[in-house]
Amino acid sequence: MYPDQDEVRRLIDLMPASGRMYTKIIPKPQQSRLIETPFPQPWQQGAKPIYINFDLWQELSREERDLALLRSVCWLTGIKWFKPDLYQGVVVAGIISAGVEVAQGDVIGLLVSGGLAVLAGSQIWRKTRSVQTELDADEVALRVAQRRGYDPTTAAQALLSSIEKIAEIEGRNALSFSELIRLQNLRKLAGESPVSVPEDVKKQF
């Protein structure tokens, strides 16, 4: 048995049920990133991969590992391309309408229908890549951690420190914009700062 198999098993037990169903931990020792979760595409089938370099993984504390994993799982399972809302409805209607227009040879109708579908699709894309989506994933991960025995402050502190530690381990000199915003939000949740993230910042991507 490889040394990291016990850790994989432990992390799977840590996951919420949705994580066990829709994600898969894959050891990837050759990658420079400690943990990597490729953005899921709408046509992607099967479990969504979470790639972990277990040589680097061991440099995190157990609490940091738990929260980093839970956060990745919650981010992946939180991205749903096909769920009932206004934009998904417009996309579907636009595609169906475009098909009808093609059959009827109506070029203007095709352009209008196709344009609506593209516009709605771009709104879905922007929403899934927004800072708000990142913050939501953090907060869902903290709630899952509490169900696994963590108190809210310890969980927020562990996730906060994991972001900083991962950047250090990976040799990154600066954090990304979304990571900086996440840190500020987690400081607020951990009771370390009274400053909340402004609503207009949450809408950026």
| pLDDT single digits (tens) 31-89 | 999 999 998 877 777 899 999 999 999 999 999 999 999 999 999 998 876 554 444 44
- Stretch (H or E) spanning 181: helix 177-189
Q: Is the pLDDT of residue 201 over 90?
A: no
Mean pLDDT of the chain: 82
Residues 161 and 190 in one domain: yes
Strand 23-27's sheet: what is its strand order?
Answer: 23-27, 48-52, 35-36
Residues 187 and 173 in one domain: yes
Residues 96 and 183 in one domain: no
- Which residues lie closer than 8 Å to 168 by C-beta, 6 or more apart? none
The per-residue pLDDT for range 141-192, each reduced to its tens digit, is 999 999 999 999 999 999 999 999 999 999 999 999 999 999 999 999 999 9
Residues 66 and 9 in one domain: yes
Q: Which domain holds residue 115?
A: 86-128
Residues 134 and 190 in one domain: yes
- pLDDT-derived band at 130 (thresholds 50, 70, 90) equals confident
Across 122-130, average pLDDT: 59
CA distance 187 to 140: 16
Residues 69 and 133 in one domain: yes
More confident residue, 23 or 121: 23
Residues 73 and 159 in one domain: yes
Do residues 78 and 136 lie in contact, with contact meaning Cβ atoms separated by under 8 Å? yes
Residues 93 and 54 in one domain: no
Domains held by the chain: number:
2
Across 87-113, average pLDDT: 49
Residues 70 and 143 in one domain: yes
Closest CA to 183 of 166, 151, 160, 167: 160
pLDDT at 196: 87
Helical segments of 42-149, H only:
54-57, 62-78, 86-104, 107-128, 131-147
Residues 49 and 98 in one domain: no
Residues 180 and 155 in one domain: yes
Residues 35 and 71 in one domain: yes
pLDDT at 115: 53
- pLDDT-derived band at 102 (thresholds 50, 70, 90) equals very low
Q: Is the pLDDT of residue 108 over 90?
A: no
